[in-house]
Amino acid sequence: MARRPCPRLFRGLIRYGCAISLMRRKMELHRRFLHPPRRTFFLFGPRGTGKTTWLRQAFPDALTIDLLQPDVARELLARPERLRDLVRGEPRRPIVVLDEVQRAPELLNVVHALIESRDRRQFVMTGSSARKLRRGGFDLLGGRALVRTLHPFMAAELDRFDLGDALRQGLLPLAVAAEHPGDVLRAYVSLYLDEEVRLEGWARNVGAFARFLEGVSFSHGSVLNLANVARECEVERKTVAGYVEVMEDLLLAFRVPVFTRRAKRETAAHPKLYLFDAGVFRSLRPRGPLDRPEEIEGPALEGLVAQHLRAWIGYRAGDATLAYWRTRSGVEVDFVVYGAAGFWAIEVKNAARVRPEDLRGLEAFGADYPLAELLLVYRGERRERHGRIWVLPVEDFLRDLRPDRLLAQPSE
């Protein structure tokens, strides 16, 4: 007997589809910080971050080829050179958008040829995954194209930012626009499992991958222990390592390395792992009577700050890097931002009051790196100064975080 679909999931998928339409209408009201380059570029980003809506705003007159349309993808896969005919048939459209190009990566050979020809166009190629392009031997046009990423909303992109809502439902535009964000987020994960993982064959056992997603949520904001996750999911360690690569290639997670530049102390060796959005983390993370609220709220807040810092760096064209600092003795600072944009050490505390012990990691980092700016962001409401350390309300910090400003530079 065939299994009947789960009614709750079915309702979630319906709400997911409605949320996409609503998101695109609401996104018209929000200005994103991503600026369109003037040359050919790839635009990556997880599903639901608003790539299609942003493209409509940035390139309203572009020739758009949507490869999520089965008939379009089928025709171009059968005859990739058909793309050349379509482009040359629209001589007054200098910009060509290939939406979800990973569905037909063979088209990149045609794009490459067109870029090198006299018939010069600007190509914009979007995708929710670079995995198929890289694994298929495609080189992203050999450096002839820039790479940009569209992230979930930053707080400053919203007319109204509420920290509590952001911690519960995240800042994925799809969820922000939804009437029932919880249902939409659950359906979002199911859609990824179905469309990206199962259909592309990236995980042979989708059930094991689903268990992995739940298990890896406990590692959000901490050093990933592959052996522990493998034991919880009842799969081999190397399988978990492959699953982590799939998550990163699908842009569902990212790693933050250890800051080791001119280190004066012996530091940790392994990076930390974050899911790309606080709402996706909350949707994946199981909750029960034995879970203390701070076990979920703390990682959610740290992840929210991480995704903002990552977006801030990305929209500034990568003039800084994101890391964390931890010594072998256990002294730690949550984030280190370093590069041409400046040098900051940032500690995140899910508390309304700052205790002296909360400052020790930053004090140790400041002793080793006198040039660093030291920031602690917390759930309180007052700005304070403790020696070299600025203490800032996290909500204000996120609202003031804009790519055209330095970190902790308040709005006028």
The residue type found at 140 is: L
CATH superfamily of 35-149: P-loop containing nucleotide triphosphate hydrolases (3.40.50.300)
The neighbour count for residue 318, using CB atoms within 10 Å, is 14
| Per-residue model confidence (pLDDT) at position 105 | 86
| Per-residue model confidence (pLDDT) at position 18 | 54
Extract the residue ranges of the chain whose pLDDT is less than 70.
1-30, 132-140, 142-143, 193-204, 290, 409-412
Q: CB–CB of 324/221 below 8 Å?
A: no
Q: Which of 374, 376, 381, 387 is nearest to 352 (CA)?
A: 381
| Cα 378 from Cα 395, distance rounded (Å) | 8
What digits encode the pLDDT tens for the residues 349-358? 999 999 999 9
Is pTM, for the whole model, over 0.75? yes
| Per-residue model confidence (pLDDT) at position 186 | 86
Exposed, middle or buried: residue 92 (CB in 10 Å: 0-12, 13-18, 19+)?
exposed
List strands edge to edge, sheet with 63-66. 63-66, 95-99, 122-127, 41-44, 146-149
What digits encode the pLDDT tens for the residues 48-87? 899 989 999 999 999 999 998 999 999 999 999 999 999 9
Q: Which residues contact 96 (CB under 8 A, 6 or more apart)?
A: 62, 63, 65, 87, 121, 122, 123, 124
H runs (alpha helix) in 192-292? 206-216, 226-233, 237-249, 278-284
Residue with tokens 């979800």: 100
Q: What tokens does 75 get?
A: 């025709």
| Cα 362 from Cα 376, distance rounded (Å) | 8
Q: CB–CB of 190/9 below 8 Å?
A: yes
What values do phi and psi take at 177, rounded to 5?
A: -85, -10
| Per-residue model confidence (pLDDT) at position 282 | 92
- Domain spans in the chain, listed from the N-terminal domain onward: 35-149, 155-399
Say how many residues make up the chain: 412
The residue type found at 76 is: L
Q: Which of 252, 248, 391, 399 is nearest to 312 (CA)?
A: 399
| Per-residue model confidence (pLDDT) at position 207 | 78
| Per-residue model confidence (pLDDT) at position 348 | 98
| Per-residue model confidence (pLDDT) at position 17 | 55
Q: What tokens does 12 get?
A: 């979630």
Q: What tokens does 346 get?
A: 């940032």
